[in-house]
Copies of this chain bind each other. A is one copy, B any other.
Amino acid sequence: MESIDAVGPAPELVSDVFARACTSRAAFEDVTSRWSSLVLLALAEGPHRFGELRRRVEGVSERMLAQSLRGLERDGLVSRADAGTIPPRVDYELTGLGARVAEGLRGLADVLESAVPEIDRARLDYDAR
């Protein structure tokens, strides 16, 4: 008889963003959460210090930035380097995984940025109904 689930490389199909209990769903929600996505986008341009990120991501509060950074660090997307000096200096940068995620986010942002006129028109049409 033929062997069932015999050889072949790793399944890969065990993860599913649609599944509530899957880690990928949680990570997906982290990554797409309001401030984390913009933080990843900012870090895609290179390492940033806390204050630099705060200025780059318009509108984020210190609290939310710190919280977002903790979450991204926990998921292994961002690494934190504390110089241990006074005054303090902490640099944040993307990990390899973080860079791959940020790349996807960048693609998304590019599509949206170039579609602004189209979106504005669609909204006008919709709101006029």
Contact = CB atoms under 8 A, between A and B. Distances in A.
Given A20-B59, A58-B20, A97 B76 contact: no
A108 interface: yes
Total copies of the chain: 2
A101 B76 CA distance: 25
A74 to B, nearest CB: 4
B74 A28 contact: no
A87 interface: no
A57 B19 CA distance: 8
Contacts of A109: 17, 24, 28
Interface of A: 12, 14-20, 22-24, 27-29, 31-34, 37-38, 41-42, 56-59, 73-76, 97, 100-101, 104-105, 107-109, 111-116, 118-123, 125-127
